[in-house]
Amino acid sequence: MTTAAASDGAISVALLGASGRVGSRLLELLAAREAAGGRDGAPLRIVAALNSRAGFLARAGVPAGRVLDRLAAAAPGSAAAVRAALAQRPAPQVIVDCTASAEVAACYPAWLAAGSDVVAANKHGPAADRPLARAIAAARAASGAALHDAATVGAQLPLLATLRELHAAGDRVAAFEAVLSGTLSYVLGRVQEGTALSAAVREAVGCGYAEPHPASDLSGMDAARKLVILLRACGHDVELADIERVPLVEDALLAEPAPERLLARLAALDGTWRARAAIADARRERWIYRASFADGRARVAPEAVPAGHPLARLAPCENALILRSRYYHAAPLTIAGPGAGVDLTAAAVLADLLAAAARHAVPRVRLAAPSAAALA
């Protein structure tokens, strides 16, 4: 592996979580890009891939369509050694994290310090508690490497970029409210339509909006991490413990480690949520899982809001942000659209990967032929 672009201009890439749903879909997108000749930027060379069990290093690179076969043939238990090797020089130019692992996020400072850009779908890094967050910031400052995290909130929606640009331009956010969990947006939307809670969660898992074990979504922890990331984009020094979190489903129930047993146990709450949805209908309200920030207080919680509220009108799986600030005081800034699903997340990761690759690409300078006068 090399720290500079190879002689053919290819950018070296390591992919973590390669066999997961987002990682697998990203490989399909990369294979399609390779088949099309990679004309939308520098060529990418996958020099490492890992999942939770195994990993491999391949200095010459592996075509995207063959990565999973190569990973399946890797030695069991090799993932930790490969993960550690990514911080050694020469390092990959871009490391893509499609896991949901806090252990992987803890490696970001070492990777960034080695000069690798990190592309993260994993929220544990951008939403890390202050010690890790500061270590990540220090490593970025020392090496000049970048952390690309657009996929962590809203998939393809331009939420983080917008907030960071407003903050850089001197805007100050007074308050905002949002629906940040596409999973809970889908689940509560279906419950409000008459579907049982347990069935709605199964549907969300089947559609790829929720993980096979949906505890992080149902606990509100995923939404809380997204709120931390958004608030940091606005310039606020917050961490997960600063967020008031009210789960959709009690944490004690979500402690069940087996996904199928958890989904079965959710049936005990079907009657409760059927009644809540009926009461909301009678009051012309709808249930949403709302993230909010006002007067220094940050909160995520299930709430019934008037049916005419902009957040109540979202389609299942949509995300939205409604923001008031120094610049947006007469009328709020609203960004809304689909914010969940494997395809959207993988596409957001690919966009960040191409942006990271562009930072490392060696410009190809074309020299004009000298004029006759210059040769005279």
Q: What is the CATH number of the domain that holds 112?
A: 3.40.50.720
Q: Kindly state whether residue 369 falls inside one of the protein's structural domains.
A: no
**SS3 state of residue 355:** helix
179 and 256 together in one domain: yes
Q: Kindly state whether residue 374 falls inside one of the protein's structural domains.
A: no
CB 139 within 8 A of CB 112: yes
Say what the alpha-carbon torsion angle 306, 308, 309, 311 is, to the nearest 10 degrees: 110
333 and 253 together in one domain: yes
137 and 163 together in one domain: no
CB 136 within 8 A of CB 112: yes
315 and 176 together in one domain: yes
Q: Kindly state whether residue 136 falls inside one of the protein's structural domains.
A: yes
- Residue 41 is predicted with a pLDDT of 76
354 and 267 together in one domain: no
Number of domains in the chain: 2
- Residue 365 is predicted with a pLDDT of 45
What is the phi/psi pair of residue 313, to 5°? -95, 5
Catalytic residue among 124, 226, 245, 290: 226
102 and 221 together in one domain: no
142 and 230 together in one domain: no
Q: What is the CATH number of the domain that holds 175?
A: 3.30.360.10
- Residue 375 is predicted with a pLDDT of 45
- Residue 339 is predicted with a pLDDT of 84
Query: pTM here?
Result: 0.91
Q: Cα–Cα–Cα angle for 54, 48, 8, nearest 5°?
A: 165
Kindly list the strands in the beta sheet with 147-148, ordered across the sheet, starting from the edge strand earlier in the chain: 55-62, 44-50, 11-16, 94-97, 117-120, 147-148
- Residue 210 is predicted with a pLDDT of 87
> Per the structure block, which two tokens stand in for 147?
């952390």
> Per the structure block, which two tokens stand in for 326?
């120094």
99 and 181 together in one domain: no
Question: Half-sphere exposure of residue 318, counting CA atoms within 13 Å on the CB side?
Answer: 15
> Among the residues of 36-90, which ranges form H helices?
67-72, 79-85
CA atoms of 160 and 126, how far apart (whole Å): 11
Low-confidence ranges of the chain (pLDDT < 70): 1-8, 38-39, 362-376
Catalytic-residue membership of 226: yes
Q: Kindly state whether residue 372 falls inside one of the protein's structural domains.
A: no
- Residue 371 is predicted with a pLDDT of 55
Q: Kindly state whether residue 214 falls inside one of the protein's structural domains.
A: yes
CA atoms of 159 and 360, how far apart (whole Å): 25
Q: Kindly state whether residue 264 falls inside one of the protein's structural domains.
A: yes
CA atoms of 27 and 35, how far apart (whole Å): 12
Which range marks the domain in which residue 200 is found? 159-338
Neighbours of 352 (CB within 10 A): 24
